[in-house]
């Protein structure tokens, strides 16, 4: 695998804690920067992801930069791959609808690199027809997805919506980086 620059987008869901494990598995051969949604910071702290990645964590759209750069443009330009884990129904819907109202959604809109979503959510949300149509729409225009698996979900139910195993995500990242 060639060394790549991965921008990890972390959304607000219980599977956000897996971002730490992903960084650990990917950082040996890649540089990683992290963009967190505000909701994701309720599940895992920016300090944890900054410590593991060795880079600042970005979450605010309108903070003044230390250098003259526009965050969402410079982050999108920097990345060889944009990986969104866990991808919530919210971020998938925003991307499919062209909504750019926070840092992560604007980075997705500005990115010319491959975008890889790894969804995780309740089984009923996963089966929702609107979400499935949004995924079809994004796939049709070149976005990539790692399907969730069947497992025990946060509410104790069993069903499809469990984040794919970290090893599966890492394998797909390697594949996508080798294609770029």
Q: Which residue has the higher pLDDT, 157 or 91?
A: 91
Residue pLDDT, tens place only, 40-59:
999 999 999 999 999 999 98
Residues with Cβ within 8 Å of 152's Cβ and at least 6 positions away in sequence, in order, are 158, 162
Rounded CA separation 170/154 (Å): 23
Q: State residue 66's pLDDT score.
A: 54
1 has pLDDT over 80: no
Please provide residue 100's backbone torsions phi and psi, each rounded to the nearest 5 degrees: -130, 85
Q: State residue 86's pLDDT score.
A: 98
Residue pLDDT, tens place only, 111-129:
999 999 999 999 999 999 9
64 has pLDDT over 90: no
Q: State residue 156's pLDDT score.
A: 85
Q: Are the C-beta atoms of residues 161 and 122 closer than 8 Å to each other?
A: yes
Question: What are the domain boundaries of the chain?
Answer: 4-179
Rounded CA separation 37/126 (Å): 20
Strand, helix or coil for residue 162: strand
CATH class of 4-179: alpha beta
DSSP-assigned letter for residue 4: E
Q: Is the dihedral of CA 18, 23, 24, 26 positive or negative?
A: positive
Rounded CA separation 23/8 (Å): 8
For the sheet containing 144-145, what is the strand order? 57-58, 30-36, 4-10, 81-87, 115-119, 144-145
pTM for this prediction: 0.93
In this prediction, residue 74 has a pLDDT band, given cuts at 50, 70 and 90, of: confident
Alpha helices in the chain (DSSP H): 18-26, 46-53, 71-78, 89-97, 103-110, 123-127, 129-140, 166-179
Nearest to 85 by CA among 31, 20, 28, 141: 20
Rounded to 5 degrees, what angle do the CA atoms 13, 131, 98 make?
90
- Whole-number average pLDDT of the chain: 92
């Amino acid at each position: 695998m060639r060394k790549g620059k991965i921008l990890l987008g972390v959304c607000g869901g219980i599977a956000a804690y897996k971002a730490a494990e992903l960084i650990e598995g990917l950082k040996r051969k890649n540089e990683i920067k992290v963009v967190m949604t505000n909701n994701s910071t309720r599940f895992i702290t920016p300090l944890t992801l900054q410590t593991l990645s060795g880079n600042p964590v970005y979450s605010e759209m309108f903070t003044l930069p230390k250098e003259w750069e526009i965050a969402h443009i410079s982050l999108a330009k920097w990345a060889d791959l944009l990986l969104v884990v866990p991808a919530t129904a919210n971020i998938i819907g925003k991307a499919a609808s062209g909504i750019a109202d926070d840092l992560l959604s604007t980075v997705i809109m500005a990115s010319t690199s491959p975008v890889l979503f790894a969804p995780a959510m309740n089984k009923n949300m996963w089966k929702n027809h609107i979400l499935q149509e949004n995924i079809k729409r994004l796939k049709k225009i070149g976005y990539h997805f790692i399907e969730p698996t069947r497992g025990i979900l946060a509410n104790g139910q069993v069903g499809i919506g469990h984040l794919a195993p970290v090893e599966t995500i890492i394998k797909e990242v390697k594949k996508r980086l080798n294609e770029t």
